[in-house]
């Protein structure tokens, strides 16, 4: 029997690194991308690329029939508008479709990429872990809620049917292949001296390549029916941007904005966005989240999935280097 893994969302930021790590670990890769989507980040890799949608059960039935593993990375990460039916369609129904077909063909393991927001965060001294309850509903974002509901669905299937699933919950990822750009956008703005300031909050930051290692390791490591927060460094935004400025060899000039000012800007932006229909750079919900200290403890993933702990400076340098090589910035 071959060691074939079906990777959804393979041409995304994390998917591109997971695909490379799967090859490095000796797996055969069948990579799912949406029809007509850009596949440049997968160029020259010894993989089978298949175009289709995880909402298409017939497509999944056909493609998973000769696989032994599936890694589901495909998701809608939209946070504006906060409420959008298509988010649940992809992030929940898509997961149900994959799990159903994986169960039909007796796949050895499904690795689901969730989000650390499915657990309550903590402080630097007492960061959140996998034992914390979900509190993300307060932000009223379908992205967070849908990922949590999908997680509960998969854990229920494990409990009731012994469905072989492992769930990884990454924190804020930094790294290459960020074609959007998505998580690296703030680094781009900082590099170009266009970032006006930062909020009082913070996040747990992690190198996307480290997440990829843990993800592929989860095909043969870790406990079934378990969640693993995959992260690394807990940093206030000011600390993160100071590290980035040092990597860029630039002076650190930006200042912290008071919370009320950021919330006011977010509120105005959201009002304009509702009128214009154009997504804001900073919505009211995003502004509120920017003041939250979203700190997490990744020790469980380090111990059970051999999650690496690469310094975030390396992730920043790799991210910006990729942007330069791909035309987002002058070389």
- Per-residue pLDDT tens over the stretch 216-250: 999 999 999 999 999 999 999 999 999 999 999 99
Average pLDDT of span 47-66: 98
Q: Please check whether residue 185 lies inside any domain of the structure.
A: no
Residues 6+ apart with CB under 8 A from 308: 207, 209, 210, 213, 214
Q: Please check whether residue 108 lies inside any domain of the structure.
A: yes
**What is the span of the domain harbouring residue 135?**
4-179+204-234+296-312
Pairing of strands 172-174, 202-207: parallel
Q: Which of 94-103, 138-147, 263-272, 304-313 has the lowest mean pLDDT?
A: 263-272
CB 271 within 8 A of CB 213: no
CB 7 within 8 A of CB 71: yes
Looking at residue 20, its pLDDT comes to 98
From residue 180, give the alpha-carbon distance in Å to each of 52, 176, 282, 310, 325.
20, 11, 16, 23, 15
Average pLDDT of span 139-150: 92
Looking at residue 16, its pLDDT comes to 98
Q: Please check whether residue 158 lies inside any domain of the structure.
A: yes
pTM above 0.85, yes or no: yes
Average pLDDT of span 3-12: 98
Looking at residue 53, its pLDDT comes to 98
CB 57 within 8 A of CB 35: no
**Mean per-residue pLDDT of the chain:** 92
Q: Please check whether residue 327 lies inside any domain of the structure.
A: no
Residue 77 above 60 pLDDT? yes
Q: In total, how many domains does the chain have?
A: 1
Structure tokens at 216: 């592929």
Looking at residue 268, its pLDDT comes to 74
Give per-residue burial for 301-311: e unless 16+ CB within 10 Å, then b: bbebbebbebe
Average pLDDT of span 133-157: 93
Looking at residue 287, its pLDDT comes to 64
Of residues 318 and 141, more confidence is placed in 318
Torsion angle of C-alpha atoms 148, 126, 198, 117, degrees rounded to 10: 0
Nearest 5°: the CA angle 96, 26, 219 is 35
- Per-residue pLDDT tens over the stretch 83-134: 678 899 999 999 999 999 999 999 999 999 999 999 999 999 999 999 999 9
Q: Please check whether residue 215 lies inside any domain of the structure.
A: yes
- Per-residue pLDDT tens over the stretch 152-198: 999 999 999 999 999 999 999 999 999 989 999 999 999 999 988 88
Looking at residue 267, its pLDDT comes to 66
Angle at which helix 208-217 crosses helix 312-325, to 10 degrees, equals 110
Residues 6+ apart with CB under 8 A from 108: 68, 69, 164, 219
Please state, for a pLDDT cut of 90, what percent of the chain lies above it.
79
Residue 1 above 50 pLDDT? no
Domain of 173, CATH number, reads: 3.40.50.720
Q: Please check whether residue 30 lies inside any domain of the structure.
A: yes
Q: Please check whether residue 261 lies inside any domain of the structure.
A: no
- Asked if omega into 36 is within 30° of 0 (cis), the reply is no
Looking at residue 139, its pLDDT comes to 81
């Amino acid at each position: 029997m071959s060691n074939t893994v079906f990777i959804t969302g393979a041409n995304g930021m994390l998917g591109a690194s997971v695909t490379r790590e799967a090859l490095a670990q000796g797996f055969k890769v069948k990579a799912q991308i949406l029809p007509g989507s850009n596949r440049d980040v997968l160029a020259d890799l010894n993989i089978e690329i298949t175009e289709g949608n995880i909402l298409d059960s017939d497509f999944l039935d056909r493609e998973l029939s000769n696989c032994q593993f599936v890694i589901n990375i495909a998701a809608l990460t939209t946070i504006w508008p906060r409420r959008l039916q298509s988010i649940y369609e992809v992030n929940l129904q898509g997961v149900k479709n994959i799990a159903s077909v994986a169960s039909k063909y007796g796949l050895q393991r499904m690795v689901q990429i969730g989000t650390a927001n499915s657990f309550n965060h903590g402080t630097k001294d007492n960061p959140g872990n996998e034992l914390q309850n979900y509190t993300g509903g307060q932000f009223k974002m379908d992205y967070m809620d849908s990922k949590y509901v999908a997680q509960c669905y998969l854990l229920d299937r494990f409990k009731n049917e012994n469905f072989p699933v492992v769930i990884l919950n990454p924190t804020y990822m930094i790294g290459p292949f960020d074609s959007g750009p998505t998580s690296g956008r703030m680094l781009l703005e900082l590099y170009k001296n266009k970032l006006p300031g930062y909020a009082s909050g913070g996040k747990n930051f992690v190198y996307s390549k480290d997440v990829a290692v843990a993800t592929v390791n989860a095909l043969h490591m870790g406990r079934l029916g378990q969640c693993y927060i995959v992260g690394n460094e807990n940093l206030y935004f000011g600390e993160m941007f100071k590290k980035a400025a040092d990597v860029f060899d630039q002076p650190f000039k930006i200042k912290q904005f008071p919370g009320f000012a950021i919330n006011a800007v977010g509120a105005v932006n959201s009002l304009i966005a509702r009128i214009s229909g154009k997504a804001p750079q900073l919505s009211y919900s995003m502004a509120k989240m920017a003041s939250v200290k979203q700190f997490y403890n990744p020790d469980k993933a380090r111990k059970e999935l051999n999650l690496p702990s690469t310094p975030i400076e390396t992730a920043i340098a790799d991210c910006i280097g990729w942007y330069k090589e791909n035309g987002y910035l002058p070389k």
